[in-house]
């Protein structure tokens, strides 16, 4: 009887120790994987893109054998950023298709037409950010931090949604919770079922479009 009680006590102690170790490991891992700017700011900041802070704009470029086309589009949206846990960033970035400009009115009309982006059916291009991975702090101090990483989420264009990962650079200014984000990535027209007029894609319009965006916002 005494042996049985002693054994139960031993098992209870070992189980308690195991629970403690697991809790310690998981608790430590959470802090290890949370990368921050090491500034005084704490808690999640709701950042709204604001043209008063900076010009929110996307630039796109098509470089094909017979022609190179460049253009711009407006960018709006918001995201939630915790300066002490950048990986947890989420947000929604929107590009209204009807704001896309190429510098030639007739070409703009074609771009928005049914053969291309079909603006009448698909009003917006949307990137829903789920997280930031691979965060590296570039600099931090004096109320300002700069970090690089990869934004991961769902990119929706022309009625098609796909997972997208794109490199970003985030600059955070503690005073006013001001944020600037820069990114560059490519989009395959074929993957989003954008066929264009026969014979155009690959000759006058590139099969892959390069997109650059600069976004500016502040705490709301």
Which pLDDT tens digit goes with each residue over 89-148? 999 999 999 999 999 999 999 999 999 999 999 999 999 999 999 999 999 999 999 999
Q: Which residues contact 151 (CB under 8 A, 6 or more apart)?
A: 89, 127, 129, 132, 164, 165, 166, 167, 168, 183
C-alpha count within 13 angstroms, C-beta hemisphere, residue 108: 12
Domain count within the chain = 2
Which pLDDT score, from 0 to 100, does residue 14 have?
55
Which CATH number goes with the domain that contains 157? 2.40.128.110
In a domain, 37, yes or no: no
In a domain, 86, yes or no: yes
Residues 135 and 63 in one domain: yes
Residues 183 and 102 in one domain: yes
Residues 143 and 80 in one domain: yes
In a domain, 60, yes or no: yes
pTM of the model: 0.84
Q: Which domain holds residue 128?
A: 45-219
Which pLDDT tens digit goes with each residue over 18-47? 434 334 344 444 344 579 998 988 899 999
């Amino acid at each position: 009887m005494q042996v049985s009680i002693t054994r139960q006590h031993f098992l209870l102690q070992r189980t308690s120790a195991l629970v403690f170790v697991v809790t310690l490991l998981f608790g430590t891992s959470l802090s290890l994987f949370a990368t921050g700017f090491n500034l005084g700011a704490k808690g999640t900041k709701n950042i709204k893109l604001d043209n008063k802070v900076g010009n929110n704009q996307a630039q796109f470029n098509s470089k094909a054998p017979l022609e190179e086309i460049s253009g711009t589009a407006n960018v709006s949206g918001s995201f939630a950023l915790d300066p002490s846990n950048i990986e947890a960033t989420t947000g929604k970035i929107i590009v209204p298709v009807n704001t896309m400009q190429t510098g030639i009115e007739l070409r703009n009309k074609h771009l928005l037409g049914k053969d291309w982006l079909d603006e009448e059916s698909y009003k917006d291009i949307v990137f829903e950010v789920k997280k930031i991975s691979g965060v590296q702090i570039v600099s931090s101090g004096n109320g300002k931090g700069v970090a690089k990483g990869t934004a991961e989420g769902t990119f929706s264009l022309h009625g098609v949604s796909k997972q997208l990962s794109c490199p970003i650079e985030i600059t955070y200014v503690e005073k006013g919770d001001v944020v600037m984000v820069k990114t560059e990535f490519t989009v395959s027209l074929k993957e989003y079922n954008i066929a264009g007029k026969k014979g155009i894609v690959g000759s006058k319009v590139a099969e892959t479009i390069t997109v650059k965006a600069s976004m500016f916002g502040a705490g709301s």
